[in-house]
Amino acid sequence: MTRYLVLSDLHLADIEEHDDGWKAHKARRHTYDDALAETIARFADDGDGDDDGRAARDERRVLVLNGDTLDFDLVSAVPDADERAPFSVSRRERRVGLDATASKSAWKARRVLADHPFFVEALARFVSASARHELVIIAGNHDPELVFDEVQAAVREALRAAGAREADVEARVRFERWFYMVPGEIYVEHGQQYDVYCAQRFVLSPTLESPGREREVTISMGDLSNRLLLGRMGTFNPHASDYILGALSYVGHWLRHYAFTRRSLIGAWILGSLAVLRRMLAIRRRLRRRPADYDALLAQQAERAGVPLETVHALERLRRRPIHQRVYRMMRELWLDRVLLALAMTGGTVALALVPIPLWIKLVVPLSVMPLLWFGYEHLARGETIFSIERHALEVAREVARLTRCKLVTFGHTHRPELVPLSGGSTYVNTGTWAPVLRRGELAPGLRNVLEARFVEGCEPQIAFSSRSDHVPAPALHDEARRAEVAEELAA
């Protein structure tokens, strides 16, 4: 018998407090360490006191943290001047946070874990409670730095400091770069590989090495935008899609939050967008070659998962082509294409005003032709959005279930909780997020979804999906009508 508890998208970061509400999503009042610790403790102890206590204690219990557990993108803290850090900190890093190298990422991990002691203590108690307990930590797009041995060592060190025994930590804590799988039972993957904005080209080897420089993780465009762009816009909640607004809405946001302050929304956007584009172009040039050991890494992944190598190759082919391979789409996502188009139209209007042509032409072209060109361009240039990516995840889950024959397939990443029955008796679950969300214009607790599954040989799995938040309803089970609706959306 095996029981699983799957949590995703905790987005734990360093704590920041600002009197004016800046970066409210990082304030201590929006942490949930106590609820998280209680959830883990209940999973560890559930059933020990009833008539079936012996059977419960004999169960193998696996706690899976499915990506974006530690949000390295949000950590803007740097070592104090009097702190003896084993690295230097540049002026740019003091503005936007430390680079994603091994030593700096380990420092970030220790900083985050120190700010969330209840969570660390709950993990330590779980690991040491029984020889049949296992902790699996899967890397997501906000914490790809977990691939570094130094970061993994920092996590293990924090668990030992919180009371876990050395032998327990070494034997029962497992890190996964891509997915965790038990054949015939469960497949757990964060899901960023199916998102063009957050996919890694080589998910098992997401690092770059350069002569004379420390090895660093390749950051996706979506996460670079969090670090260099949204991280400098503290009035937006990066855990939700509320930062995606229309042009007029951005003007209103600027009037409410920036117009009468020293902070600059436009400056942060322009400078941040150019920084993201420059970094992505540099990464694009350095990612042209497939890592020499990648085939060996795929073989190791197949061995750990207990599936044929051909299955892992088929799973890898499901990933989306990362957006850093498409320069135009990067510019569009950063709104730089609209800036260039607006500048071209402004220049055209000035040029018309200066040339000796009839006045009606000078008026008609800017007032009618150019707006038509703008709306025509917007219609033709529309592409994939984060909302279409959410629908695509269900299609991928269906294919993963077919390839792996697992009864339960679960992703995170999109922050959209759902439970959908699949053909063949499998079930797909997206576990949403524990991070705060925007509700009626104010930050509120996230759904805090919990996925529990129990597998007993010869029996159908027991799957329970619920919410630990008292402020919002639990996500509903999608029925057959909803399945048909989603299928029609995907077909369209």
* Beta-carbon contacts of residue 442 (< 8 Å; ≥ 6 apart): none
| Candidate from 48-62, 80-94, 240-254, 376-390 with smallest mean pLDDT | 48-62
For residues 8-12, give the mean pLDDT. Answer: 95
User: For residue 444, which phi and psi values (nearest 5 degrees)?
Assistant: -135, 160
Rounded Cα–Cα distance for residues 310 and 382 (Å): 36
pLDDT at residue 23 in the model? 87
pLDDT above 80 (res 474): no
For residues 373-399, give the mean pLDDT. Answer: 80
Could you tell me what percent of the chain has a pLDDT over 70?
A: 89
Residue 93's CB is within 10 A of a number of other CB atoms, namely: 15
pTM: 0.86
* Beta-carbon contacts of residue 473 (< 8 Å; ≥ 6 apart): 467
Instruction: Check: CB of residue 214 under 8 Å from CB of residue 101.
Output: yes
| Candidate from 95-109, 429-443, 460-474 with smallest mean pLDDT | 460-474
Is the pLDDT higher at 85 or at 103? 103
Is the pLDDT higher at 477 or at 73? 73
* Beta-carbon contacts of residue 319 (< 8 Å; ≥ 6 apart): 193, 194, 199, 203
* Beta-carbon contacts of residue 430 (< 8 Å; ≥ 6 apart): 191, 393, 410, 411, 412, 413, 414, 416, 417, 418, 419
For 179, what's the count of Cα atoms within 13 Å in the CB-facing half-sphere? 28
For residues 436-449, give the mean pLDDT. Answer: 80
Domain ranges in the chain are 2-317+393-491, 335-381
pLDDT at residue 388 in the model? 64
pLDDT at residue 243 in the model? 65
At 43-82, the pLDDT tens digits run 988 765 444 555 556 789 999 999 999 999 999 999 987 7
At 151-180, the pLDDT tens digits run 999 999 999 999 999 999 999 999 999 999
For residues 452-466, give the mean pLDDT. Answer: 90
